[in-house]
Amino acid sequence: MWVLSGTRIVIQSGPGHLHCSPCGDRLDLQQPGLVIDASDDDRQLSSVVTEDLLSDGSVLRATGPIGQEGSEVPRYAQKMNVIYPPKLTKGDVVRVVAPARSRAMVTEHDHTAIIEARFAELGLTLSYGRHVDERDAFDPSSIASRVADLHEAFADPSAAAIMTVIGGYNCNELLPFLDWGLILANPKILCGYSDITALQNAILARTGLVTYSGPHWSTFGIRDHFEQTLRWFTEIMFGSDPVALSPAAHWSDDLWFLDQDKRDLFPNEGWWPLRPGTAEGRIIGGNLCTLNLLQGTPYMPSLDGAILIVEDDLESPPVAFARNLTSLLQLPDAAGVRGLAIGRFQRASRMTRSLLEHIIATQPALAGLPVLANIDVGHTDPLAAFPIGGQAELTVEGGEASLTLRRH
């Protein structure tokens, strides 16, 4: 079903038939006195009009015919109301789940004491999903166990937010089994990155709930040089004021979890302003190759009006990043993309500024749009948190740049 929870559908006159797949979404089909659920799949309609009040106060309106019996609402009528979860406060409980790889893998190098002490300093208490330590041949638990832990985390009123243990490779396995209605009815912070990108963007597409690309539970085990990551995390998760990101003074790309006493810091050369322009829009993104896994599925959010913030890891050399970016920008609604910000590449990827300049120059969809790179998101540290589905403003002008998370 393409129409998502929170969309208002206005019935037009005339014969027709709308089929609502039993996906658990709620549709408010409004006629005098008429509100029906997705389970009510036999209503006489000829077309739909979707109306959404946007953050700037304007109304987004799209109309499409229903067509023949059994037709679904067309994709260009897919609009939603964005939902921001409640912020954290001292005394809250944060539930830790493992939708990608297991905590048992992470604790082979155990930094749990550092992690729990750091959350305690924030005034937060951690609780853990029942299955976080289950582990199969690919390092996660079973699909059923991971889905159960996610559902329990959203449903539990004592849990104010959800943190993921770590990333991995197969978070997208969970998507057909998630109860989107349950998630929508219990909006709360979900924070993680890398493979968690699939879950986060699917939640946005299916419910309109804003989630957060940011540090994992395991990231909080970094003993030294964690101050900037923590500062960005607290600004986003506890506060509501706009957050103006700026380049960190130093960065690292080491296996900190193997030896906390041996850390390699590099001076930050700053952001790379690649293309001039100014744009404001809804943030879509995270890990690029993981985001692309959602193409052609019901879990891919619209790129129309988007500020893309993407990154990739050492498994994505320049040629792979180039084709992944091309694939994303060839989606039909990529014509509505307003700007692009790219996270710092790991050293092993062998990406350089000149190579990235060449990649950007070959993308016709980016003509006239602001493009900024080497920002502090991705698989290096420090790691900035940002809201997937939130609002950002990106300006690149005269060799200078700014990136502000306007609403999160």
Check if the beta carbon of residue 208 is closer than 8 Å to that of residue 83: yes
Q: Does 194 participate in catalysis according to the annotation?
A: yes
Give the C-alpha separation, 352 to 322, whole Å.
13
Give the C-alpha separation, 186 to 154, whole Å.
6
Query: Which of the residues 194, 213, 218, 349 is marked catalytic?
Result: 194
Backbone angles phi, psi at 221, to 5 degrees: -85, -5
Query: Which of the residues 131, 216, 218, 311 is marked catalytic?
Result: 311
Check if the beta carbon of residue 149 is closer than 8 Å to that of residue 97: yes
Query: Which of the residues 151, 379, 393, 408 is marked catalytic?
Result: 379
Residue with tokens 């959800």, as numbered in its chain? 162
Check if the beta carbon of residue 308 is closer than 8 Å to that of residue 340: yes
Q: Does 379 participate in catalysis according to the annotation?
A: yes
Structure tokens at 85: 């979860």
Q: Does 316 participate in catalysis according to the annotation?
A: no
Give the C-alpha separation, 297 to 68, whole Å.
23
Give the C-alpha separation, 144 to 80, whole Å.
29
Locate the DSSP E strands across 133-254.
Answer: 159-164, 189-192, 211-213, 243-245, 250-252
Phi-psi region of 277 (alpha: psi -120 to 50; beta: other; left: phi over 0): left
Give the C-alpha separation, 134 to 150, whole Å.
14
Nearest to 192 by CA among 96, 303, 52, 61: 96
Q: Give catalytic residues, as residue numbers.
A: 194, 311, 379
